[in-house]
Structure 1
Amino acid sequence: MVNKEQGALAAMSNNNWLKFALQLTAKGGALPLGSQQLLTETPSYWVHLDYTREESEQWLQQQSIPQAVIAALTAAETRPRASEVAGGVLVYLRGVNLNPGARPEDMIALRMWVSPTGLISTQKRTLLSVEAVRQTLDSQQGPDSISALVAELIDQLIWRMEEVIENLELEVEGCALQLEESPTASLTSHLSLLRRRAITLRRYLAPQREALIKLQNESLFAAVDTLLIREATDRLQRLLEDLDAAREHATLLQEEVFSVQNEAINDRMYLLAIISALFLPLGFLTGLFGINVGGLPGVEDPNAFWWFCSGVGVIAVGVAIWMRKRRWL
């Protein structure tokens, strides 16, 4: 019987719309569900679908899932929230994107409808938290109920966020050290990127915290699972505080970079102004004696050039002494 169900499941998975369909065994494991097996006749099921495929919606309709739930599970755009729908709880969550070559802040949406008899979840891209929970079921060490399954999924989502935000904080600290040693213009663009990443992460983590707080009051969850969700919510709150601190730190560092750059520009402009002021009377004299008209003094004197150079040197020294007394130098 199990082999037949596995074969049916493999045939369905080849269509790429059904990620997996399992029935929890209440002993930490799960058995695959057959393609023709009705969810209404299957307690403790977990079905995971690709919401972008039409086959997923058609299959949900065949299972007599309420249309409001189907529309929610296949919605194109979602924000984290939790609400009661059709006798169950609809949960929208986000997880960091840890797939190779992806940006973690490009978060992946996970849609879940938690009913008294099972869990239906949908997503588009692979979420490592879902795969991790499924592997625990394959190894007979996973959750033993739907309530524990949802709590474990939430816990896995939050744990993977910690590493991403910690790396973000380390990058900001690295920018701070670089600013102290050798501030460069490249720091500005890097700090701007870090700020944008922090803003993007916070955009979804803040409402996700509110959704988890609401889940703690749902009667579908056992007390021990509610406690796990509460702990995950507390960790998420701490991550939000760390994220805000990293963003503010990046903002301060960016302002300091601008200050250092402006100070360097002001120093160069000041030096140019001093040089211009020093050579202003000299330029006037050379221009005056460079006109080609009669009557210029010293035209017939062979030593006039040296006398003129000596006079220009004396004027330059005099201007420098005058600037020094006025503390311009």
Structure 2
Amino acid sequence: MKSKHRRVKAGELERRRLALPTLKHAAGKAAGIEYAELLSGPGTTSARVRCIDYCPETYQVQEPDNIVDFLARHRPEWSKVRWIHVEGLEDRAVLRAFAEKYQLHPLAVEDLLDGHQRPKVEDYPGTGDFPGRLFIVARTARFEDGKLVHETVGFFLGRHTLLTFQHGPGLSFAEIQRRIANDRSRLRENDVSFLLYSLIDVMVDRLFPILERYSERLEAAEEDILRRPHLQNLETMHDIKRELVLLRRAIWPMRDLVAQLQRDRHECLSETTATYFRDVYDHCVQILDLLETYREIAAAMTETYVSVMSNRTNDIMKVLTVIGTIFIPLTFLAGVYGMNMPIPENQYAISYPLFWLVSLVLGGLMLFWFRRRGWL
């Protein structure tokens, strides 16, 4: 018996791939990553490390080349907050050095290495050799070469230290560094949890320009559909809807993440920071509302395209029908007077011009009648 194979289009395969979850663990493998396993991974790219120590009076920025020597030194006594930012997780030796220095939980390290990890908050209380820390995975997006790229950042929040890890150098926190350099900045006056709020707030606010860009794309696509409907318009609308769905999948967990930070109290989160997280939550709600609105607009524009093409087809068929209707009696007259048999009217010289006169008058009367009825 021959087996039957079902043909699946490329778009359907893409939708199925996006809908399927990724298997995180191999069969029989223990959860979490031990520190010794970090050296077995790829290590071709060196990580970039930036450390900023600050207090209300002063601040200090350093980019150490020797990670071992840097981690051997303690935080300065005058430093109220230490922020260490690591770009590039391919160099597992650097990641292992930080994991051993700050006793990062193996489960958190495993989630950190997963570039497609869902945004979440995990509270790892101090047990044994592991000090209590708050682990956060946040996501944002940006455009790179006209394509939507998602960025994932991992946060390890302590009492005075904040560790941030990102996979590549695409996401920049230069505005936060400028605020730290400002003597009158509110960052310099608050604790390390306020720095966490500022970073997450920047990641969320960067989504508004992306939504503005989608708004412009929808307006341009709508104008093209109404003026020059083409199959390319339909493909553009499908691309926009797919990207909006992917963006929604990243932002929806961010709203739950911020709500949890606002609701649940942690020893490393101050009351002031929890209050400021309300504003971030409002921004997440606004972004989700805009996403839903744009998705509905994209769906409505797809229906508009189908309607425009149907109306265009109807107009073409109407014109062809009118032309065919006009030529039906003319064809009858031409057939009658074109037969190879003697017709009395052929004996008169005026019969041929009279035939054309009757045909033109008949066609004109039919066009006039069609216009009066509103069919043209």
Normalising by structure 2, report the TM-score: 0.69
- Per the alignment, in what secondary structure is the counterpart of residue 107 of structure 1? strand
Alpha-carbon distance in structure 1 between the residues aligned to 2:227 and 2:370: 32
Deviations 1:184-223 (A, max 9, x none): 2265555544434433322211111111111122312111
Aligned mates of 2:258, 2:48 — CA distance in 1: 27
**What is residue 305 of structure 1 aligned with on the other side?**
352
Residue 20 of structure 1 deviates from its aligned partner by 1.6
Q: Does 1:135 align with 2:178?
A: yes
| Contact 1:183/1:257, CA 8 A, preserved across alignment | no
Matched, 1:88 2:133: yes
Q: Decide whether the 8 Å contact of 1:155 with 1:228 is kept in 2.
A: no
Using the aligned pairs only, state the percent identity. Answer: 19
Tell me if 1:243 matches 2:291.
yes
Letter in 2 for 1:68: L
Pick the aligned partner of 1:152 from 189, 193, 198: 198
* Cα shift readout 1:22-71 (whole Å, capped 9, x = no counterpart): 44446563453673244895484433221233333332344243322221
Over 3 Å counting, the alpha-carbon distance change for 1:214 and 1:96 in structure 2 is: same
Amino acid of the structure 2 residue aligned with 1:126: P
Q: 1:74 to 1:28 in 2, by over 3 A?
A: farther
Unpaired stretches in structure 1, ≥5 consecutive residues: 1-14
CA RMSD across the alignment? 3.6
Letter in 1 for 2:117: T
Correspondence for 1:125 = 168
Q: Which is further off, 121-130 or 70-79?
A: 121-130
Alignment of 1:260-279 (within 5 A): 260-279=308-327
2:155 aligned residue (109, 112, 120): 112
Q: Which amino acid aligns with 2:265?
A: E
Question: Are the aligned partners of 2:135 and 2:155 in contact in 1 as well (CA < 8 Å)?
Answer: yes
| Cα offsets for 1:66-96 (capped at 9, x unmatched) | 3222212222321222222363222111223
Q: CA deviation at 1:234?
A: 0.9
In the other structure, the counterpart of 1:21 is 51
User: Residue 228 of structure 2 corresponds to which residue in structure 1?
Assistant: 184
Tell me if structure 2 keeps the 8 A contact 1:28–1:137.
Answer: no
Distance 2:358 2:196 in 1: 91
Q: Deviations over 1:225-267 (max 9, x none)?
A: 1111121111221122122223323433443343334323312
1:275-323 deviation per Cα after TM superposition (whole angstroms, max 9, x unaligned): 10110232244345445x4556656654443343345446545655776
Range 128-137 or range 213-222, more displaced: 128-137
Matching of residue 59 in structure 1 with residue 87 in structure 2: no
**1:151 CA drift (Å):** 0.7
Q: Look up the match of 2:84.
A: 47
Alpha-carbon distance in structure 2 between the residues aligned to 1:327 and 1:137: 72
Amino acid at match of 2:206: R
**Aligned equivalents of 2:341, 2:304: Cα separation in 1:** 60
Checking the alignment, whether the CA contact within 8 Å between 1:18 and 1:56 is kept in structure 2 is no
145-154 or 318-327: bigger deviation? 318-327
Separation in 1 of the partners of 2:313 and 2:196? Answer: 57
Q: 1:221 aligns with which of 262, 269, 281?
A: 269
Q: Distance in 1 between matches of 2:325 and 2:153?
A: 68
Change (3 A) 1:321 1:163: closer
Q: Is the 8 A contact 1:30 1:137 kept in 2?
A: no
TM-score computed with the length of structure 1 as normaliser: 0.77
- The one-letter amino acid of 1:131's match is A
Q: CA deviation at 1:139?
A: 4.8
The number of aligned residues is 311
| Residue of structure 2 in register with 1:77 after alignment | 116
1:165 matches 2:211? yes
